[in-house]
Amino acid sequence: MAKLKIRENYHQARWDEPIIYELSTPGERGILVPQPDKEIKDSSEDVLSNLPEHMRRKEKPNLPEISQKHVLAHYLHLSQETLGSNLNNDISQGTCTMKYNPRINETLATLIHHVHPSQDEDTMQGILGIYYKFKHFLKEISGMDKFTLQPGGGSHAVYTAASIMRAYHESRGELDQRDEIITTIFSHPCDAATPATAGFKVITLFSDDETGVPDIEALKEAVSERTAGIFITNPEDTGIYNREIDEIVRIVHEAGGLCFYDQANANGMLGIARAREAGFDMCHFNVHKTFGTPHGCSGPGTGALGVRDHLASFLPIPTVEYDGNKYYLDYDRPESIGKVRGFFGVAPVVLKAYCWVMMLGAEGLREVAEISVLNNNYLQKKVEEIPGVKTWYAEGRRRLEQVRYNWIGLEEETGVGTDDVMRRIGDYGIQHYWTSHHPWVVPEPFTLEPCETYSKTDLDEYAAVLARIADEARKDPEFVKASPHKCASNVVANPEEFNDPDKWAVTWRAYLRKHGKK
Give residues 84-143 in contact with other proteins (rule: CB under 8 A).
84-87, 93, 96, 98-102, 104, 106-109, 111-120, 122-127, 129-130, 136-137, 140-141, 143
Choose, by CB under 8 A, the member of 321, 367, 384, 471 that binds other proteins.
367
Cβ-contact 432, 425 below 8 angstroms: yes
Q: How far apart are CA 483 and CA 423, in angstroms?
A: 6
Residue from 266, 371, 465, 469 touching other proteins (CB under 8 A): that is 371
Closest-CA residue to 237 (of 270, 215, 256, 213): 213
Provide the mask over 185-204, with x wherever binding to other proteins is found by CB under 8 A and - wherever it is not: x--xxx-xxx-xxxxxxxxx
Question: In one letter, which amino acid is 29?
Answer: R
Among 57, 173, 396, 516, binds other proteins (CB under 8 A): 57
Q: Is 491 among the residues that bind other proteins (CB under 8 A)? A: yes
Assess 155 for contact with other proteins (CB under 8 A).
Answer: yes
User: Looking only at residues 225 through 244 of this chain, which bind other proteins when binding is defined by CB under 8 A?
Assistant: 241, 243
- In single-letter form, the type of residue at position 22 comes to E
Q: Is 17 an interacting residue with respect to other proteins (CB under 8 A)?
A: yes
Contact between 8 and other proteins per CB under 8 A: no
| Angstrom distances, CA of residue 315 to CA of 66, 152, 168, 324, 341 | 47, 15, 11, 21, 12
Distance CA 228, CA 75 (A): 48
Binding piece for other proteins, criterion CB under 8 A, among 3-11, 253-261, 305-313, 354-362: 354-362
388 sits near other proteins (criterion: CB under 8 A) = no
Q: Least distance to other proteins from the beta carbon of 161, Å?
A: 12
DSSP string, 69-97: HHHHHHHHHHHHTS--GGGS-TT-STTS-
**From 324, 396, 501, 516, residue interacting with other proteins (rule: CB under 8 A):** 501
Return the residue of 177, 250, 321, 374 that touches other proteins, per CB under 8 A: 374
Whole-number minimum distance, CB 111 to other proteins, in Å?
5
Site for other proteins in 317-346 (CB under 8 A): 317, 337-346
Given the complex with other proteins, which of 6 and 477 has the nearer CB atom? 477
- Chain positions 268 to 307 lying near other proteins, rule: CB under 8 A, are 271-274, 277-278, 286, 288, 292, 294-301
The angle subtended at Cα 305 by Cα 300 and Cα 306, nearest 5°, is: 155
> By C-alpha distance, which of 92, 192, 141 is closest to 405?
92
CA distances from 4 to 93, 455, 463, 502 (A): 21, 11, 11, 49
Cβ of 475: how many Cβ atoms within 10 Å? 9
